[in-house]
Amino acid sequence: MKGGPMDHGQVIETIAAAVKDVPGIRALFLSGSYGTGLADAYSDIDFVLVADAGATDAVAEVWRKAVAQTGEIVLWWDRTTVPVLINAITRDWTRTDVVILKPDQMGAQTQAGLKPVFDPDGLYQGLTAQAAAAGPAPRKLRYQIEEFIRILGLLHLAVGREEYINGVLGVFHLRNLLVDLLIEETAAPHRGGVLHLNRLITAEQKALMVSMPPPVAEREAMIAGHLAYAAAYLPRARVLAARREVVWPEAFEEATWAKLEETLGLSCPYGRPG
């Protein structure tokens, strides 16, 4: 491509022009950060393409040719994990994702999550304005709490086997679960992708994450890391569980601390009720 890399506006215009007059292509929308008006210079460009035939090989090839007009494609994932999703990265690291749907598959989309690029048939007007507010997901929260306690309990195995590298992986899992908990606390309306944590958590929550010890593949550091995450996660999770009316896994937590005390001499680092 001549003239250097395109900016995102040019990418959107180029792709739209390339697919707009293709027979069977009904509409093109921006979704994700661009659909909600929250995009920044680091955002990928998410599209929803509506085609009469849906995500066929022919439509996928039309999309590939369109993306290729914006730059040399260096990564192309063609409907690999989700049957209607194509991911692409061009040489300048512009990331585009497209979901390809038939018109009758648009029911899960909302006007709040999309921005029309072209829509001659007015499909956008037939969409629900916005999704109903999602209620609490008690089963998911209960699973995450139990998973945290399970990984915490595996500490005695990692120490016993001197598997300090695997123990570091345990700390990473605990860290991810703490991040999930903090996001649940804020109930942010626009979650965005995994690289948008800054806008999902508060200054106090960020300070907590920054204060957590780094994972180090050494016995005492691994133990200290697990205890630090337990002290940060479990009391906050109890508060959220109570608010969401989720029954706390008392027996599981009690058995886990008993095992850690028996094998490693570790005590619960926070004040448990009762």
Over residues 16-72, the pLDDT tens digits come to: 999 999 999 999 999 988 988 878 888 899 999 999 999 999 999 999 999 999 999
Instruction: Give me the pLDDT at residue 133, please.
Output: 56
Length of the chain: 274
Q: Residues 97, 151: one domain?
A: no
Q: Residues 116, 180: one domain?
A: no
Instruction: Give me the pLDDT at residue 40, please.
Output: 81
Task: Determine contact, residues 123/106, Cβ cutoff 8 Å.
Answer: yes
Q: Residues 254, 143: one domain?
A: yes
Q: Residues 179, 231: one domain?
A: yes
pTM: 0.74
Distance, in Å, from the CA atom of 76 to the CA atom of 86, rounded to the nearest integer, reads 7
Instruction: Give me the pLDDT at residue 136, please.
Output: 58
Instruction: Give me the pLDDT at residue 2, please.
Output: 54
Instruction: Give me the pLDDT at residue 188, please.
Output: 58
Instruction: Give me the pLDDT at residue 105, please.
Output: 94
* Residues in the chain, pLDDT under 50: 1
Helix (H, G, I), strand (E, B) or coil at 215: coil
Q: Residues 146, 247: one domain?
A: yes
Q: Residues 181, 229: one domain?
A: yes
Distance, in Å, from the CA atom of 30 to the CA atom of 44, rounded to the nearest integer, reads 11
Distance, in Å, from the CA atom of 8 to the CA atom of 13, rounded to the nearest integer, reads 9
Q: Residues 18, 114: one domain?
A: yes
Q: Which residues contact 82 (CB under 8 A, 6 or more apart)?
A: 99
Distance, in Å, from the CA atom of 169 to the CA atom of 19, rounded to the nearest integer, reads 45
Q: Identify the DSSP state of 80.
A: S
Q: Residues 21, 121: one domain?
A: yes
Q: Residues 99, 157: one domain?
A: no
CATH at 232? 1.20.120
Q: Residues 51, 147: one domain?
A: no
Instruction: Give me the pLDDT at residue 131, please.
Output: 66
Q: Residue 240: inside a domain, yes or no?
A: yes
Task: Determine contact, residues 36/48, Cβ cutoff 8 Å.
Answer: no
Query: Which of 37, 36, 84, 35 lies closest to 63 in space, CA to CA?
Result: 84
CATH at 70? 3.30.460.10
Region at 265 (left for phi over 0; alpha for psi -120 to 50; beta for the rest) = left
Q: Residue 132: inside a domain, yes or no?
A: no
**Domain of 225?**
138-264
Q: How many domains does the chain have?
A: 2
Question: 84, 106, 126: which is the final residue of a domain?
Answer: 126
Q: Residues 18, 120: one domain?
A: yes
Question: 71, 104, 126: which is the final residue of a domain?
Answer: 126
